[in-house]
């Protein structure tokens, strides 16, 4: 088991062994997901982001059409 401490700024350092095993480098996208009674670090959660936003613009609108509708068309 690898332990880490939480800093005064609520930051956690991921131990070297874990970073190497998961391929975590500066800029790597991670997510924290609840699974039952524990939390799991998800490395490169792009698939989860796709699932969240997939089908978000239903009704045949393109992303730009949706943005124009939300913000008002910019001429």
Q: What is the pLDDT of residues 5-16, one digit of tens each?
A: 999 999 999 999
Could you give the maximum distance between any two Cα atoms of the chain, in Å? 58
Per-residue pLDDT band for 57 (boundaries 50, 70, 90) equals: low
Q: What is the DSSP code (8-state) at residue 54?
A: T
Which residue's entry shows tokens 């943005």?
Answer: 67
Range(s) for CATH 2.10.260.10 in the chain?
1-44
Model confidence pTM above 0.85: no
Which residue's entry shows tokens 């800093």?
Answer: 7
Protein fold of 1-44 = Pemi-like Protein 1; Chain: D (2.10.260)
Q: Is the pLDDT of residue 45 over 70?
A: no
The Cα–Cα gap between 57 and 2 comes to 42
Tell me what the mean pLDDT of segment 48-73 comes to: 68
Which residue's entry shows tokens 């609108």?
Answer: 61
């Amino acid at each position: 088991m690898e332990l880490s401490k939480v800093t005064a700024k609520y930051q956690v350092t991921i131990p070297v062994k874990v970073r190497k095993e998961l391929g975590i480098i500066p800029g790597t996208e991670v997510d924290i997901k609840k699974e039952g009674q524990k939390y799991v670090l998800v490395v490169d959660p792009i698939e989860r982001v796709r699932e969240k936003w997939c089908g978000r613009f239903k009704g045949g609108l393109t992303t730009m059409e949706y943005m124009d509708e939300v913000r008002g068309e910019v001429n």
